Structure formats: structure tokens, C-alpha cells
Structure 1
Amino acid sequence: MIQKDGEYQLLINEIGHWIKIEGSLNKTIPLVIIHGGPGGNHYVFERTAGPKLAEERTIIYYEQRGCGRSERPHSDDAYAIELLVEDFYCLVKQLGIKKVDVLGYSFGGELALEMALTYPEIINKIVLSAPSLMFSDSVFQIQIQGFKTIGDERFLERMEKVLSQNLPIKEKWEKVWSIADSEVVDRFLFEDQNVAKNNRRLWEDSGLNNTGKMMVAIQKNPPSPPLQKRLNQIKHHTLILTGIHDRNTGLKISNIIKQELSNSKLEKFKNSAHFPDLEEEKKFVTTTLDFLR
């Protein structure tokens, strides 16, 4: 059992997972942070909202298999949602914890909901920041429309050529992302471009890259039935945090999730897009801590 603050490598299902504990002296129900991506890491969150949450809560970060500072599985196909959920369960058991709160952002919010469905007994409260529903056609439409609202003339011309092709919505969506450069992506993900620049600087400082392998594997083997059809089984007290300008997952997705979760509430962030934890950090931290108390 690990109880002291620090960074560790923990062997979970034969894969070395990076974990970090902060705020252990607070002795609260641990708050496990679930990163997005798929295939992301915690480097930015560790240096922004995370330490402020750790002033009051015991925080456990871990990076999923093949992500960030964790080891890759032997097979590029070994990233199924079921495996990610099982890794989480084994992590909690190895740390000797009976119950945890979870905070999942973006895809991490979707993954946190899968965890609550599979192991409801070890989850206390759930916080979802800009949660996704990856396998909903609504997400493709939301993101395409989002790009339309922030693209410059050149990008919009290229985008219209893509959208005029006789292709399934998913293929159009993939092609739109493929033509978006870093400046377009920053405008898509953030309202405040100064925050976007700081976020990108931290991404670069981290030296960590998303291999894309998790996304490919999950798309080949999506959960069945889709999460959206199972949400009403979740009874945990849940807080949903969403920027009103979110062009990536959007208020529409948060509203779908809220409608299906009988014990949930939605907090909107008026000056944020996909990262309220960065664009309105103080409100994000205060709202989260108030909910967890």
C-alpha cells in the first residue's frame, strides 16, 4: 500500500503504470484523476488545477496503459475500454483503497462513467469535465460545426471541399481534423488564445506524445451497447462541468449525459471552451471542491 506523496511505477496487469499521489496528509477519500485523449496524459493538469485540488483533497493521478509515462502493452490492440476499466480497478485494489471519487476530463469523463457502471461499489462521487461520448454521431457533427465557427478563409475553403465529398460522416470528420493545423486546433479548443499558448507550451515541455494507438484500437472494438444507452444505470452523485463555447464535446453531449444520470447536476462555464480547468481554473477548483465536501 502506498500512502506517501510522490511518483511511482505500479505494475498493473503486467504493465508498468505511472502514478502520482498528492495531498496524502489531507486523508480524504482519494480523488482519482482520469485523463482524456484517448491516449493523453496528466502533465498539464498536474501543473494547473491539480495542485490546487490537492490543497484540500488526496489526489491520485495515473496514466493509462500506453499513455504518458506508463508502459505500452505488448499488442497495439490491447486498449479496449474493458481493459482500461480493469486497470483502474486493479490500481485501486493494489493501493488498498475501498472507495474513491473520480474526476475524468474529456474522454476521461467517458471512461469514468464506464468505471462506475462496471465497479459501482468502489466509486463514491463522479466529476465530469467536458465529457465525451465518442461513439455518437452527434460528436462528429458538433466538431465539424465547431470548426466552421473558428476557421479562417483558407481553412474553410479546404473544409468545404471535404464536406462536399460523398463520404460517411465519420470519414468527413477524420479528414477535417487532418487539415487542421495547430493554430486552428488552438482556436477550436480554447476561447482565450493566451491560455491556449500556455497549454501548448506545457505540451511541448512535457516531451510526451500521443501515439494514437489507443484511439485506433478503441474504434476497432467499441463498447456494445454504446455508453449512451447504459447511462441511466448510473446512480452516483455526479457533477458535470462544461464550457458553453466547447466545440469539441459541447453542451449538447453534457446535456445528454445529465438527462440520463438521475443524480447529476450541470455547471456551465461562461468563458470556457473545452478546458474549463484552464480557462476558468479558480471556478473549476472551487466548484469541484464544494461538490466533493
Structure 2
Amino acid sequence: MKNLVSTSLFFILLIATNVAGANDKLNNQECFFTLNGIEHYVKISGAENKTTPIIIVHGGPGGNNYNFEKTIGPHLEKFAPVVYYDQRGCGRSKAAKDTNDYTITTLISDLDCLRESLGLEEMTLLGYSFGAELSLRYTKAHPKRVKQLIISSPAELSTSVFLVQLQGFYSIANQHLRHEIEEILKQDKSVKEKFLSIWNIVPQSVVDSFLFVNQYIANLNRKMWEESKLPSEGTVHFQNVIFENSKGDLLESVRGLDTECLIISGIFDKNGGFQTGIELNKVLTNSNLLLYEKSAHFPDMEESERFANDVKKFVLRN
């Protein structure tokens, strides 16, 4: 009996040590990590919290984490270590010299190199927009490295999402813009070419209504874009390479994935379509879907208090 008690205490202490030591190598800092030969901007905050680190995987493709860091980020840092990084060619990170070196496979490898550089055995991924797809595909490739998965406003790079976005613009356009959209749709071009042409003619005000329900938040978002003065050098490369190589197979490729997953979708999301979240909830065996009734594509900004509370409950309940 005494040996049994001693053994039990040993394992309890071992587990406690592993949890406490899970992020001992993390320090609050801004720096650059060289991942697959490319300097990536990395910011670590909330390292004083001895819980599994949350890695923030931004969208785009070609975006950055600047707005996330300034808005919802500090709320998450109160209860977990948060690691922000800009993907290659994005924001504050360096671009690859080879314009063909922008693929999902490369981005998955970059993310795993980041994990190794941070000295983490496992991590929680929080991916939003395109970052949700990247996080899902990373988890499929490295399931033992992801303790929990949070995907917000999931958007897959595929022809179907192009069509969702075109319908979204049409639904909020005035008569003149609808006419312009219809003329583009008549052209003998690919869906992708039509998609890019329509994005080029849509006014700023319509883009804001497309991405946000609350136009005060939309204006704040745009001001922060301008304030950051960050280029998106990777955007063209992402469009030319990732779009061309997209198979539109996300749902089938992650079917049966059993990593614990929280899915957050705004019901007014015209960018990725909240339907993507509903369908992912069907194929992921250990997922929970939360629909946000006052949000479009950025529930982290439009319902920030709820977003932070839902993430906190999810990551701290285990």
C-alpha cells in the first residue's frame, strides 16, 4: 500500500512538473526566428501563464497578426501564453526569394519549425480565416503536436469559396455595382480571374460591409491596417501559387480528425461562409461549433468579450 501511494505521488509530481515546464523556455519578447531559411517575426506575450501556449495563425493568404495582437490578443494573454508570428512574405516577416516557395506544405513546415524553435512538444493552434485551413492541415499532418484546435471563421481556398464571396458582394451591392459584377461574370474567364476582377472594383465601403456587421469596428479595423504600415508582399505569390494548387479537399482531408476542436463562425460571414464551419463540425469527430449572431468574418473583433471567454473556457477546462 505504501509503495502504491509513493508511486501515485511520483506520477502526480511528474505530471505537475510536465505541465509547469511545458513553456518554461518561453519569454515575453519580440524577435525573429529563422524557419526554413526565412526570418519570421515572432512575438510572445503572457509567458507568465504556465499553460499550453496558443499559437496564432493569421489569414489572408498574405495577411498578418497586427490587428489581432492589438485587439483580442491582450485578452487571451491574461490566461495563456500567446505566440504571434507572421507567415513568410507577410507583415514583418521576410519574403522567400523563390516566388514558387509559397505552398501549404511549406507553411506547415514553417509552423512545425516554429514549434521546435519554441521548444514545445505540443501547442494549441488558433487559426482564423485562411489560418483556420492552415491550422487544420497542420493538425492532420502532426496530430500529436496539437493539444487543442481553435478555428475562427474558417475559409478554404477553393472555387466554392470564390463563389460564396461573389454571392456575398452581390447581396450587398447597389444597382450600379451589381451591373458591373454581372458584366464581369459574362466574361470568358476562369472563376478565379472573375473573382479577382470583382475584388478590384468593389469600393472600400462595400468591403467593410462585407467583412463586418458593425461599421464602427470596420472603421477601427481599417485604421489599424493603415497604422501598421505593413506590406503584404506575399499576397501575389500566395494568389499565384496557393490558389493554383488548391484542391478544394479540406473537408475530406480532415474527416475523422479527433483533436479537440472549437469552431467559431459569425452567421453573417460572407467571406468564408459560416456554412464552412457547419460542415467542418460534421466531419471533425471531437468538435464544438459556436455561432456568433452579431458577427461577420471577424467575431474576435465584433464580439470580443464573448470570443475571449469562449476561448478561455475551452483551453482551461482540461
**C-alpha separation between the residues in 2 aligned to 1:165 and 1:65?**
34
Structure 1 position 66, deviation (Å): 0.8
Where does residue 219 of structure 1 map in the other structure? Answer: 243
Q: Which residue number corresponds to residue 43 of structure 2?
A: 20
Residues 59-118 of structure 1: CA deviation (Å, up to 9, x unaligned): 011111111111111111101111100011111111111110000000000000010011
Aligned to 2:220: 198
Structure (1 or 2) with the larger CA radius of gyration: 2
Contact 1:103 1:109 in 2 (8 A): yes
Gaps of at least 5 residues in structure 2 are 1-23
Instruction: Report % sequence identity.
Output: 37
Contact 2:123 2:147 in 1 (8 A): yes
* TM value normalised by structure 1: 0.95
Is residue 2:270 matched to residue 1:258?
no
Aligned to 1:61: 84
SS of the aligned residue for 1:230 comes to: helix
2:126 pairs, out of 103, 119, 130, with: 103
Tell which deviates more after alignment, 165-174 or 200-209.
Answer: 165-174
* Count of residue correspondences: 291
Is the 1:133–1:228 contact (alpha carbons within 8 Å) kept by the matching residues of 2?
A: no
Match of 2:204 in 1: 182
- Choose which of 181, 185, 190 in structure 2 pairs with 1:163: 185
Deviation at 1:170, TM superposition (A): 3.0
Instruction: Give 1:138 shift.
Output: 2.3
Asked if 1 retains the 8 angstrom alpha-carbon contact of 2:139 and 2:146, the reply is yes
> What do the CA deviations read for 1:200-258 (whole angstroms, capped 9, x no partner)?
00000000122322222212333x58222211142101111011000001121111211
In structure 1, distance between residues paired with 2:30 and 2:41: 7
Q: Is the 8 A contact 1:20 1:60 kept in 2?
A: yes
Distance 2:279 2:189 in 1: 27
Q: Secondary structure at the match of 1:85?
A: helix
Following TM superposition, by how much is the alpha carbon of 1:2 offset from its aligned partner in structure 2, in angstroms?
4.8
Question: Distance in 1 between the 2:195 and 2:291 partners?
Answer: 26
- Residue 55 of structure 2 corresponds to residue 32 of structure 1: yes
Amino acid at match of 2:225: W
Is 1:126 matched up with 2:149? yes
CA contact (8 A) 1:234 1:261 kept: yes
State which drifts further: 236-245 or 212-221: 212-221
- 1:241 and 1:225 mapped to 2: Cα distance? 21
Deviates more, 1:66-75 or 1:1-10: 1-10
One-letter amino acid of the counterpart of residue 161, structure 2: V
Q: Give yes or no for contact 1:31–1:101 (8 Å, CA) kept in 2.
A: yes
Structure 2: distance between partners of 1:127 and 1:252: 17
Query: Unaligned 5+ residue runs, structure 1?
Result: none
1:145 matches 2:167: yes
TM (norm. structure 2) is 0.88
Which is further off, 165-174 or 26-35? 165-174
Corresponding residue number in structure 1 for 2:8:
none
Between 247-256 and 43-52, report the one with greater CA deviation: 247-256
Letter matched to residue 259 of structure 1: K
Change (3 A) 1:63 1:2: farther
Q: 1:253 to 1:220 in 2, by over 3 A?
A: same
Deviation at 1:166, TM superposition (A): 4.5
Cα offset, 1:126, TM superposition:
0.4
CA positional deviation for 1:168: 3.8
Q: Partners in 2 of 1:184 and 1:78 — Cα distance?
A: 33
CA distance in 1, matches of 2:232, 2:183: 28
Let me know the Cα RMSD of the aligned residues: 1.4
Deviation at 1:154, TM superposition (A): 2.1
